[in-house]
Structure 1
Amino acid sequence: MTIKVVRGNPTPEELAAALAVVRARAVAASALPSGAPAPRDSWSDPSRIAGRRVPQPGRSAWARTYWPS
């Protein structure tokens, strides 16, 4: 595997930190079973929004936002 710095001039410490993160992610990815789906990120989980009550339609529904307060 080859890694190329396209822009900027990282210090040796910055480059070592970036490579440590890449290596740790590669090790974590190889530890997963090959048939197992990747774990979902909680940020993209729709249940974090759907858990709240959504405003009901009605005469003034146009004035309400999607995010109930």
Structure 2
Amino acid sequence: MIKVVRGNPTPEELAAALAVVQIRAAAMAHSSPGAPEPPAEWSAPARIARHLTPRPGPRAWARTYWPG
């Protein structure tokens, strides 16, 4: 049972909220409980290390601090 605690939603707003809850519940029912979720792309180490790091060389110490 869903109960409105605050506010006074219109029938259209209430129907939209219930539709979202029903769709989410149906999606959860269709997912297999034992299957692991794929890792999130935003935390992938490959995404973080896409930029080339400066190669060591005679002036490598200067490139680590000064831009350019």
User: For this structure pair, what is the TM-score category when the shorter chain's length is used for normalisation?
Assistant: 0.5 to 0.7
TM-score calculated relative to the size of structure 2: 0.61
| Structure 2 residues without counterparts, runs of 5 or longer | 55-59
For these two proteins, the number of residue pairs brought into alignment is 60
Aligned residue number for residue 8 of structure 1: 7
TM-score calculated relative to the size of structure 1: 0.60
Between Structure 1 and Structure 2, the one with more helix by share is 2
**Distance in structure 2 (CA, Å) of the matches to 1:18 and 1:8:** 14
The C-alpha deviation readout for 1:12-66, integer Å capped at 9, x for no partner, is: 1000001001100100111011111245555xx21385153176694563x77xx
**Percent identity for Structure 1 against Structure 2:** 47
The amino acid that maps onto 1:47 is A
Aligned residue number for residue 67 of structure 1: none
The amino acid that maps onto 2:19 is A
Q: Which one has a bigger Cα radius of gyration?
A: 2
User: What is the correspondence of 1:32-51 to structure 2 with a 5 Å cutoff?
Assistant: 32-39=31-38, 42=41, 45-47=42-44, 49-51=47-49
SS in 2 for 1:9: coil
The amino acid that maps onto 1:28 is A
| Structure 1 residues without counterparts, runs of 5 or longer | 65-69
